[in-house]
Amino acid sequence: MAKTIAFHLQKGGVGKTTISGTLACQSALDGFKTLLIDVDPQGNASSWFLKKTPKYELADVVQGRCYIKDALVPVEQVPNLYLLPTFGIGGVLKNYSETKLSEEPFVLQDLVNELSKDFDHIILDLSPGLGRLERSAIIASGEVITPMTPEVFSLDGLEIFIDELKRLKKNLRSQVRHSRVIINSYDERIKQHRDILKAAQEGSFEVYRIPVDPVFRKAQEASMAPQQYKERGRGLKDKTVESIMKLESVIWD
């Protein structure tokens, strides 16, 4: 059975897609059959990895318009990586989550259970917010890891998320683990970043860091894994690679 991780904070732009995609690539490059499910109506993970629009998307699967296997897309550039995509344009997933999802909050959990026979690792990339869609994705996961940026508003966001998650777990009888936080775009030369790191470490969380690295954005623009991207022979910073390997070594335990 695959281990399933969602990366979530309701705040936008903290690196959910960048971290989901990068860790999915790392898992696949390490030889694990890995699935990235794009549960964000914006479809950012899908536009990152897919060069052409596939026939079906996640919303088609959950509404029974196609078989799961017809919607899974192998990512050409990254061996062992598969994507269950969402098209940003068209809004089918958004429409589904606003109209039908309330009647079937466990639809993603059932889908993940079915898929977990065929994969080693499953990662869910979520949209910002904490509505029905994000809640369904969280309860479909064994673990939710929170990415945040080194700012006070992200720390506030973490507190809100902890509180909401408590309620969600109780209401939906979920056992989802939440014990890890990733401070993304961290720069140790900046005092404010060091202060936020300290504050995050005061809680009961394991706190990880990913440095600021322009290669993430460049790799996304080039439809590549950050680990594969090179410009004049140079790719991710050594510190970034170290941070990814550290996360990879703990999250799949």
Ligand X SMILES: Nc1ncnc2c1ncn2[C@@H]1O[C@H](COP(=O)(O)OP(=O)(O)OP(=O)(O)O)[C@@H](O)[C@H]1O
Q: Which one, 3 or 16, has the nearer CB to Mg ion?
A: 16
Give the distance, in angstroms, between the CA of residue 100 and the centroid of all CA atoms in the same chain: 23
121: which strand partners?
3, 34
Q: Which one, 120 or 181, has the nearer CB to ligand X?
A: 181
In the block, residue with structure tokens 């390997």: 245
Q: In what order do the strands lie in the sheet containing 206-211? A: 73-74, 81-84, 34-39, 121-126, 3-7, 143-148, 180-186, 206-211
Q: Which one, 128 or 203, has the nearer CB to ligand X?
A: 128
Give the residue, chosen from 27, 44, 47, 141, that forms a contact with ligand X under the rule CB under 6 A.
Answer: 44
Give the residue, chosen from 26, 141, 154, 184, that forms a contact with ligand X under the rule CB under 6 A.
Answer: 184
- Residue 212 interacts, among ligand X, Mg ion, none and using kind-specific CB cut-offs from 5 to 8 Å, with ligand X
Exposure class string for 192-222: b at 16+ Cβ within 10 A, else e: ebeebbeebeeeebebbbbbbbebbeebbee
CB of 48 to Mg ion, least distance (A): 10
Q: Which two tokens stand for residue 129?
A: 């917010």
CB of 77 to ligand X, least distance (A): 17
Instruction: Pick the piece of the chain touching ligand X (CB under 6 A) from 8-16, 101-109, 150-158, 227-235.
Output: 8-16
CB of 212 to ligand X, least distance (A): 4
Identify whether the C-beta of residue 14 lies closer than 8 Å to the C-beta of residue 8. no
Give the residue, chosen from 39, 101, 108, 210, that forms a contact with ligand X under the rule CB under 6 A.
Answer: 210
Cβ-Cβ contacts under 8 Å for 103 (sequence gap 6 or more)? none
Give the distance, in angstroms, between the CA of residue 182 and the centroid of all CA atoms in the same chain: 12
CB of 134 to ligand X, least distance (A): 10
CB of 45 to Mg ion, least distance (A): 7
* Interface positions with Mg ion (CB under 5 A): 16-17, 44
220 near ligand X, judged by CB under 6 A:
yes
Instruction: Pick the piece of the chain touching ligand X (CB under 6 A) from 53-61, 91-99, 191-199, 208-216.
Output: 208-216
Give the residue, chosen from 167, 198, 217, 230, that forms a contact with ligand X under the rule CB under 6 A.
Answer: 217
Exposure class string for 20-58: b at 16+ Cβ within 10 A, else e: bbbbbbbbbbeebbbbbbbbbbbbbbbbbbbeeeeebbb
Identify whether the C-beta of residue 129 lies closer than 8 Å to the C-beta of residue 174. no
Q: How many residues bind ligand X (CB under 6 A)?
A: 20
Give the residue, chosen from 178, 213, 244, 247, that forms a contact with ligand X under the rule CB under 6 A.
Answer: 213
Distance CA 15, CA 94 (A): 21
Instruction: Pick the piece of the chain touching ligand X (CB under 6 A) from 50-58, 76-84, 106-114, 206-214.
Output: 206-214
From the CB of residue 89, how many other CB atoms can be counted at a distance below 10 Å? 9
Q: Which residues bind ligand X (CB under 6 A)?
A: 12-18, 40, 44, 127-128, 184-185, 210, 212-214, 216-217, 220
